[in-house]
Chain A
């Protein structure tokens, strides 16, 4: 089960297809990929190329039909649903295109959510959340609900939520897709900082070449296959 620490994601011959009625639609075909620890990887490609599906599988949200997938030392294809949920909570921080903050919770409570799944005390949780919000520059707005924040601020809260439990991997799906140019730049700057200063491994799906330019490695997918 264990893999050498220098590679955080190891994928071999991964395949995924969807079934629509009698029709089988292949989404990913024989993907093999290795992502070293601390890499900032951008996955690019046209709509329907399978990049989000690949990200979802690597992050433990979806399952592959076949192939081998080891993430952070765990072969996640063999995990049951409850174990996979616990693995996600420990290992992956998520950033979504539309931020996906819980509207009825404050910024502080949104960031605290992943920590509710850890054995940390209330006091410890508070200090972790304060640190994460400080890092994204939103500590002053901790009691605001998402509707009281701009899009860029909401995405920064989502980034704080993604990193508060100190995950091994950050999975970002179009993190700048819903932001104006300035906000997008701030978010990308933050991701680059997380990667450079804190050594976080980031896998980012994006359409935006400017976003991809901030990544250390860019891979293109087309029709479910990686293009060299």
Chain B
């Protein structure tokens, strides 16, 4: 049997101030690491959950986002008559032409202007997007200059709250309702009547057609038929995939930049752990000599000191993770590069992030501990026993 783990644990406890300071340094880096992953995950979750699994979106081919897409009325009419589209209780196809435009509004608290997505649609889209519900006021009336605001917009922009009025497209638009889309991207949009908004923005085209499929499995034949139709030059995406693609570039950027910075900072934490462990070896040279004299092998000593370093980093990892988990309460609002519009999302902790973060912390412990542990294992017994 190797040197018991209680030996390593109690040594950490005996020098608890040093342990706390070293683990604190590691916790700070671990916090940054976890926060970056949580930020990227929050962005992805927000955008991916914006889509519904049985919805598909028809856009102009090669357009990255709805704001870049143009569909003529003829094209939209062809899309709406496809047999895979589900019907509502009255036999009306669940297909919604939409127009998406970016406007600039003033943020609350003097934070300057921000781009906001305005979506021209109809009350039917509430039935097609089941995660969206009205939380106050009512839905806009068709043919009127009424709008409903996503709750992030209602809270974050001047005049966007219930009963407020917004000026854009040479008109005044009254906010008659606030929608809650369950933390998805629609929370950061304004919805109004399709035809009113098309006229106001002088658009005689549409941005997209949203379709609800009779069943998700019918997506592939629908996509193939529409994309192969030479009249259309369309691209059909599952709604979830569309939003996932939107999150990809920004999530990747956050991860790469964040992790690069974290890894640079982690060098300091690794050095801190290394210094602590070298000091531990220096203070316990006689102990190492005694353990070796009693018959413990070099490998046992190596493992005991490595275990100590790993326990230290685990402590830092758990502390950092505990701090990072509080970040779930923080809401971030930033520009989504795919649409250039404002998007609000939360830091989100997942089991995978917990495991990745703890692995990162243990990796730091391993790197910081391996050289001191090797030094301890290589000590000459007689010289170690003679140490002061």
Contacts and interface: CB of A to CB of B under 8 A. Distances in A.
Given A100-B385, A116-B1, A88 B293 contact: yes
A81 B385 contact: no
A117 B14 contact: no
Given A61-B385, A104-B7, A82 B297 contact: yes
Given A61-B385, A96-B290, A100-B286, A114 B10 contact: no
A88 B294 contact: yes
Nearest to A113: B294
Contact of A89 (B3, B286, B289, B294): B294
B319 to A, nearest CB: 22
B385 A116 contact: no
A90 B295 CA distance: 8
Nearest to B12: A104
B147 to A, nearest CB: 69
Given A61-B385, A103-B14, A85 B295 contact: yes
A105 B7 contact: yes
Nearest to B381: A61
A166 to B, nearest CB: 14
Contacts of A104: 7, 10-11, 13-14
Nearest to B383: A62
Given A62-B382, A96-B385, A117 B298 contact: no
A59 B295 CA distance: 11
Nearest to B10: A104
Contacts of A161: 294
A103 B287 CA distance: 9
Contacts of A90: 295
Contacts of A30: none
A96 B4 CA distance: 22
Interface in A82-141: 82, 85-86, 88-90, 94, 96, 98, 100, 102-105, 109, 113-114, 116-117
Contacts of B4: 109, 116
Given A100-B286, A102-B287, A103-B14, A114 B382 contact: no
B286 A116 contact: no
Interface string B255-294: 0000000000000000000000000000000110111111
Interface in B3-21: 3-4, 6-7, 10-11, 13-14
A116 B286 CA distance: 20
A56 interface: yes
B296 interface: yes
Interface residues of B, number: 25
A117 B6 CA distance: 16
Q: Chain A at the B interface: mostly helix, strand, loop or mixed?
A: helix
B385 A114 contact: no
A94 B293 contact: yes
Contacts of A109: 4, 6
A102 B1 contact: no
Contacts of A103: 14, 287
Nearest to B293: A94
Given A100-B290, A102-B290, A117 B296 contact: yes
A102 B7 contact: yes
A88 B14 CA distance: 30
A102 to B, nearest CB: 6
Given A62-B382, A104-B7, A105-B7, A114 B294 contact: yes
Interface in A49-85: 56, 59, 61-62, 81-82, 85
Contacts of B382: 56, 61-62
Given A105-B10, A117-B1, A85 B385 contact: no
Contact of A86 (B6, B291, B295): B295
Contact of B3 (A86, A88, A116): A116
B9 to A, nearest CB: 9
Contacts of B14: 103-104
Given A61-B382, A116-B3, A117-B1, A94 B298 contact: no
A85 B297 contact: yes
Contacts of A105: 6-7, 10
B7 A94 contact: no
Nearest to B9: A104
A61 B10 contact: no
B303 to A, nearest CB: 13
A48 to B, nearest CB: 13
Nearest to B8: A104
Contacts of A102: 7, 287, 290-291
A12 B236 CA distance: 92
Interface in B165-191: none
Contacts of A61: 293, 381-382, 385
Interface in B284-336: 286-287, 289-298
B295 A81 contact: no
Nearest to A91: B295
A81 B292 CA distance: 11
A62 B296 CA distance: 15
Contacts of B292: 85
Contacts of A56: 382
Interface string B1-43: 1111011001101100000000000000000000000000000
Given A61-B293, A85-B296, A105-B7, 7 more contacts: A59-B293, A81-B297, A88-B293, A102-B7, A102-B291, A114-B294, A161-B294
15 contacts: A81-B297, A81-B298, A85-B292, A85-B296, A88-B294, A89-B295, A94-B294, A96-B385, A100-B286, A100-B289, A100-B290, A102-B287, A104-B11, A117-B294, A161-B294
| Top 9 closest pairs, chain A to chain B, by CB | A89-B295, A104-B10, A100-B290, A116-B1, A88-B295, A117-B295, A85-B297, A62-B382, A61-B381
